[in-house]
A and B are shown apart, each in its own frame.
Chain A
Amino acid sequence: MWKWIQAFASPQNFYQSSERIIPWLMVPFIALSLAGLYWGLVVSPADYQQGDSVRIMFVHVPAAWMSLFIYVVMAVAGGIGLIWQIKLAFVVAKVSAPIGAAFTFLALITGSIWGKPMWGTWWAWDARLTSELILLFLYLAYMSLNNAFDNPKTANKASAILGIVGLVNIPIIYYSVEWWNSLHQGSSVSVSKVSMQIDMFIALMLISFAFKFLYGALMLMRARDEVLVREQNSRWVRTLITGSEK
């Protein structure tokens, strides 16, 4: 297993192997998205309290889950890079940041759109909302720090440390609705219980898995590009671009 990881993690092998994986992520993304849209907008009933506005939850909740998931991937990848000096781990961390920031932005904006008809306001300085906003700032800080250094090694290390330190915000976001008196509702889905109508749950899961595949595809596409930039002085990149060895 470790040998396979080491072989896959070599930039050249990764570049070649990942090209074959991307279509296998894109096809499920498209299929699950279409199924999720159908289930969320057509099959799923209106909620007895929220009415049809519950349909916003089918994009808001998966986006919020992705914002946390990608941050953890980014921080863990940075940690792996720091400990085992695996170059590809730093690449994964770097390219994950803008994707995570986009999902965090999406979670905040769709939550705000849902909040207007439900709470009567676009924004409240609630613990869940504020900690999610801090997550967006952490992503932006990570990206800024990563671009602030000319030396890629220093940039990798500095941003990886920031990513690991920022992990403290993840349990704060998750438990904020329990730790503080929050306007935001508690979790409707957990490992032990699902407290929602089955069609709503199916719509939520379909879009949630679609977003996972989307992240996988985008992350690989961006990582391939980053690998080319970092390995531009290698012979294999020159051969790949020019088609001949010089």
Chain B
Amino acid sequence: MDFLLFDKYTAYIWASYLLTFATIAILFISTKSTHKRTMTQLRIKYARGK
């Protein structure tokens, strides 16, 4: 696992990669949750016969 240590820059490098991963994950989760919410709202709307 030594290849995962980058001398005095380890924390900076892993912080950057984790933030990148987190940003991408948030983009996916928000996209999925928005879609789920839209589908629910449209189902309710059509069920009410609007």
Asked whether, in the complex, the Cβ of A59 is within 8 Å of the Cβ of B26, the reply is: no
| CB contact list, B8-47 vs A, under 8 A | 8-10, 12-13, 15-17, 19-20, 23-24, 26-28, 30-32, 34-35, 38-39, 42-43, 45-46
Q: Given that A99-B27, A222-B31 are known contacts, is A56 also in contact with B16, CB under 8 Å in the complex?
A: yes
Residues of B within 8 A of A225 (CB): 31, 34-35, 38
Asked whether, in the complex, the Cβ of B13 is within 8 Å of the Cβ of A53, the reply is: yes
Interface membership of chain A positions 85-109, coded 1 if the CB is closer than 8 angstroms to chain B and 0 otherwise: 0000000000000110010011001
Determine if A218 is an interface residue (Cβ-Cβ < 8 Å).
yes
The count of A-to-B residue pairs whose CB atoms sit within 8 angstroms is 87
Chain B interface residue bracket vs A:
20 to 34
With both beta carbons as reference points, the residue of chain B lying nearest to A221 in the complex is identified as: B31
- Which of B6, B26, B43, B46 is the one whose CB lies under 8 Å from A102? B26
Residues of B within 8 A of A242 (CB): 43, 46
Determine if A128 is an interface residue (Cβ-Cβ < 8 Å).
no
Asked whether, in the complex, the Cβ of A41 is within 8 Å of the Cβ of B28, the reply is: no
Q: Given that A52-B7, A106-B23 are known contacts, is A241 also in contact with B42, CB under 8 Å in the complex?
A: yes
A241 to B35, CA, bound (A): 12
Residues of B within 8 A of A238 (CB): 46
Asked whether, in the complex, the Cβ of B9 is within 8 Å of the Cβ of A229, the reply is: no
Rounded to whole Å, the gap between the CB of A66 and the closest CB of chain B is 11
Residues of A within 8 A of B27 (CB): 98-99, 102, 218
A109 to B9, CA, bound (A): 16
Interface membership of chain A positions 170-197, coded 1 if the CB is closer than 8 angstroms to chain B and 0 otherwise: 0000000000000000000000000000
Asked whether, in the complex, the Cβ of B42 is within 8 Å of the Cβ of A237, the reply is: yes
Residues of B within 8 A of A116 (CB): 12
Determine if A120 is an interface residue (Cβ-Cβ < 8 Å).
no
A95 to B17, CA, bound (A): 25
Rounded to whole Å, the gap between the CB of A232 and the closest CB of chain B is 6
Asked whether, in the complex, the Cβ of B38 is within 8 Å of the Cβ of A109, the reply is: no
Residues of A within 8 A of B45 (CB): 232
Residues of B within 8 A of A46 (CB): 6
A152 to B41, CA, bound (A): 19
Determine if A143 is an interface residue (Cβ-Cβ < 8 Å).
no
Asked whether, in the complex, the Cβ of B46 is within 8 Å of the Cβ of A55, the reply is: no
Asked whether, in the complex, the Cβ of A241 is within 8 Å of the Cβ of B34, the reply is: no
Q: Closest 3 CB pairs between A and B?
A: A52-B6, A53-B9, A110-B16
